[in-house]
């Protein structure tokens, strides 16, 4: 679709130059396209998700967070938060904890060691955990995507966070509401629990709202411990 403001040229003319002379400025459609590419690089098909007005994740790209959300609502909030940074040069990345494990096992595999984990991805486009963990400005890790038990999973997650804290870069851990990060979770350990003790926590909820004779499904978000509600 051709932009109605710039007719596809990417620039528009304004008359606020010196002595009222016209000048060309970049059209907002160029920024929007770049933000869409940024979202797509972060998570496949995230660029197709509509941008909402606001998200509880807005402006938190430099903070460590523990987020409770299902996959669909997470995608809406990530797309909105990324777009609202208005900085497409930032490298954001969403991975599952199984991907962290595969990157760690990939380093072992490169050393010639045998890898028996059935979740190991030999086609992963990184050569080590460091490659995956250190590059993004913001790394979002979806917990619970690792299905096969591996006793090293908690240690790999802790190592990832340690590397990012060394670089002063933020990490967001995302737990499924039905699979909280607690004892028994494949990624949980007492060391991890102690490490994230002081992290801010955000819960993204889905609510069903009723009005008189009609029923409307609405998606609502809230901070843990707060009564504020924001309708998307």
pLDDT, one tens digit per residue, over 100-141 is 988 878 553 344 444 444 444 544 555 578 888 999 999 999
What pLDDT score does 150 carry? 79
Q: Residue 164 falls within a domain, yes or no? A: yes
Cα-based angle 210, 177, 42 (whole degrees, multiple of 5): 105
Q: What single-letter DSSP state applies at residue 34? A: H
Q: Provide the edge-to-edge strand list for the sheet that holds 138-142.
A: 92-96, 138-142, 170-175, 65-68, 200-204, 220-223, 230-231
For the chain, the domain total comes to: 1
Q: What's the chain's average pLDDT?
A: 81
pTM, entire model: 0.77
Give the separation between CA 100 and CA 173, rounded to whole angstroms: 12
pLDDT tens string 182-228: 999 999 999 999 999 999 999 998 754 344 343 333 444 444 443 34
Give the separation between CA 216 and CA 134, rounded to whole angstroms: 43
Length of the chain: 232
Q: Residue 15 falls within a domain, yes or no? A: no
Q: Residue 21 falls within a domain, yes or no? A: no
Give the separation between CA 196 and CA 122, rounded to whole angstroms: 30
Q: Residue 107 falls within a domain, yes or no? A: yes
Q: Residue 29 falls within a domain, yes or no? A: no
Q: Residue 30 falls within a domain, yes or no? A: no
Instruction: Measure Cα distances from 67 to 48, 113, 222 in Å.
Output: 22, 35, 11
Q: Residue 9 falls within a domain, yes or no? A: no
Q: Residue 63 falls within a domain, yes or no? A: yes
The residue segments making up the domain with residue 187 are 44-231
CATH number of the domain residue 138 falls in: 3.40.50.300
Question: How many whole angstroms from its chain centre is CA 133?
Answer: 13
Q: What single-letter DSSP state applies at residue 231? A: E
User: Are the C-beta atoms of 44 and 153 separated by less than 8 Å?
Assistant: no
Mean pLDDT of 41-49: 96
């Amino acid at each position: 679709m051709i932009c109605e403001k710039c007719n596809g040229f990417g620039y528009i003319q304004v008359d606020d130059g010196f002595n009222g002379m016209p000048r060309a400025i970049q059209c907002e459609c160029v920024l929007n396209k770049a933000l869409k590419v940024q979202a797509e690089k972060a998570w496949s098909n995230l660029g197709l998700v509509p941008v909402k007005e606001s998200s509880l994740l807005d402006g938190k790209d430099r903070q460590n967070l523990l987020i409770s959300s299902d996959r669909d609502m997470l995608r809406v909030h990530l797309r909105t938060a990324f777009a609202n940074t208005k900085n497409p040069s930032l490298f954001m990345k969403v991975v599952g904890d199984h991907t962290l494990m595969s990157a760690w096992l990939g380093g072992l595999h490169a050393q010639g060691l045998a890898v028996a984990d059935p979740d190991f991805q030999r086609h992963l486009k990184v050569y080590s955990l460091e490659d995956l963990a250190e590059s993004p400005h913001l790394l979002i890790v979806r917990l619970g995507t690792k299905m096969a038990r591996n006793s090293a999973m908690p240690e790999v997650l802790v190592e990832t966070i340690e590397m990012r804290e060394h670089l002063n870069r933020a990490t967001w851990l995302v737990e499924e509401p039905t699979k909280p990060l607690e004892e028994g979770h494949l990624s949980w350990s007492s060391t991890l629990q102690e490490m994230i003790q002081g992290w801010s926590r955000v819960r993204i909820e889905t609510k069903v709202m009723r009005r008189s004779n009609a029923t409307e499904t609405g998606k609502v978000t809230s901070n843990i411990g707060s009564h504020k509600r924001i309708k998307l």
